Amino acid sequence: MLVWILCISTTAALVATSLQLFFDYRRDVSELEQGMRYIEQNQLPGLADAAWNFNVAGMQVQLDGIGHSTWVAGATIHYGPSQSAALTTGQVDPDAGRRFEYVLRRNEVVVGKIYIAPNLHTLYGRTLDRIGIVLATQGGKSLVTSISILLLISWMITRHLTQMAEFAKSFEPGKSFTPFVLRRSPRTPHDELTVLVDGFNDAYGRLQKAHEFQVRHNEILSQEVALRTAELLDAQQTLAKLAVTDKLTGTVNRLGLDEAFKSAMTLADPDSHPLAVILSDIDKFKSVNDNHGHLAGDSLLQEFTGILSRVVRATDTVGRWGGEEFLILCPQTTLEQALHLAERLRAGVQAHAFAEIGSKTSSFGVAVLRKGETSDDLVRRADEALYRAKEGGRNRVCPETPAIVS
């Protein structure tokens, strides 16, 4: 900034100085012309007298008098018949650009001619002196003025702007916001800087508020998203449960049984982790529908599965295999244990008094997983056992057909 101030003030000083020097020079030229007029009016008549009288010594004295004038460098007078004689004082350079020429007359008769060479050295010397003085004083003035202005600007403006820049740099949205305060006397009148700081604080205040609003908005959004996510998870879980649940009985459906089979089959091992299946079917169920109505049949199915679910272990899975046929998947269960469980179920059903219908019986087929078998093989053998239970007169438990050992 100092460079700019210096450049501008120096240029201004140079322009002013040039103008001043130009007018001074014009004044000097005018002084020189006045000096010549003075010589013409006051000294040349005496010289003309001396020339009329051929008073050579008088002419020389007069001429020297002219030559001593400040503005005269030298002079030459031509006199006598045809002005053939000449006297000179000072330095008269015939090639010098400017010279003053006067015709000397006495009684209307030309008695001589005088050439006066102006003292241009004085003129130029004065001008050069002035240039030196003016340049030195103006340069010094410019320097002092520039430094003063710079110090003033620095004290009154720059230091505040620097503090504002530091404040702006340290501003972090969300952190506590204290408005920027100018470090100067509180008695300082309301000026442009005050207006700037007010606008600055206002802008940062609004920025802070916008940030707080954004944060709050984000929090609300996050809570909304969390709520919706929880609802979605709930809905997803409900859907997943519904997808594997039989609507009427609340037991798992065929799809649920498939999944239960998948995980049970990965853990099952006929030698160490036996897996048993009990397939049960309500006896003469069609007659319930026929005699008591379909709704009574539905209720019977619900009560029937209630008995099954109450008797089996938590690790067992009761599922609707289809119609009035139910499958119980029993991990870690041997054939004997499964037969025992089936017998308990059968007895439980038989002992139960079903609403509207009274007593009802059911038949059971039991099988355990053999080496190399699939779940379909296992269910097929349990189904065969159930078929035999039906064939055998119902209300009984039949085990799988023993394996044929070759």
Ligand X SMILES: Nc1nc2c(ncn2[C@@H]2O[C@H](COP(=O)(O)OP(=O)(O)OP(=O)(O)O)[C@@H](O)[C@H]2O)c(=O)[nH]1
Query: Is 302 near ligand X (CB under 6 A)?
Result: no
Q: Please give the Cα distance from 321 to 279 (Å, whole number).
A: 8
Alpha helices in 71-191 (DSSP H): 120-153, 159-170
Among the listed ranges 36-44, 143-151, 267-275, 293-301, the one in contact with ligand X (CB under 6 A) is 293-301
Least separation in angstroms between CB 357 and ligand X: 11
Number of residues counted as binding ligand X (CB under 6 A): 16
Catalytic status, residue 324: yes
Among the listed ranges 44-52, 67-75, 126-134, 295-303, the one in contact with ligand X (CB under 6 A) is 295-303
For tokens 């897996």, the residue is: 275
Burial of 114 (0-12, 13-18, 19+ CB in 10 A): buried
> Is the separation of the CB atoms in 307 and 348 below 8 Å?
yes
Q: Please give the Cα distance from 288 to 294 (Å, whole number).
A: 8
Site string for ligand X, 40-79 (x = CB under 6 A): ----------------------------------------
Query: Is 286 near ligand X (CB under 6 A)?
Result: yes
Displacement of CA 288 from its chain's centroid (Å): 76
Residues in 303-332 that interact with ligand X by CB under 6 A: 323-324
Query: Is 301 near ligand X (CB under 6 A)?
Result: yes
Site string for ligand X, 351-390 (x = CB under 6 A): ---------------------------------------x
**DSSP conformation letters of 286-343:** HHHHHHH-HHHHHHHHHHHHHHHHHHS-TTSEEEEEETTEEEEEEET--HHHHHHHHH
Site string for ligand X, 179-218 (x = CB under 6 A): ----------------------------------------
Q: Please give the Cα distance from 11 to 25 (Å, whole number).
A: 21
Residue of 33, 324, 373, 384 marked active site: 324
Encoded tokens for 123: 């003129």
Question: Looking only at Cα atoms, what is the longest distance across the chain?
Answer: 188
Site string for ligand X, 228-257 (x = CB under 6 A): --------------------x---------
Least separation in angstroms between CB 224 and ligand X: 42
Residue positions annotated with a catalytic role: 324
- Rule CB under 6 A: which residues touch ligand X? 248, 281-286, 289, 294, 297-298, 301, 323-324, 390, 394
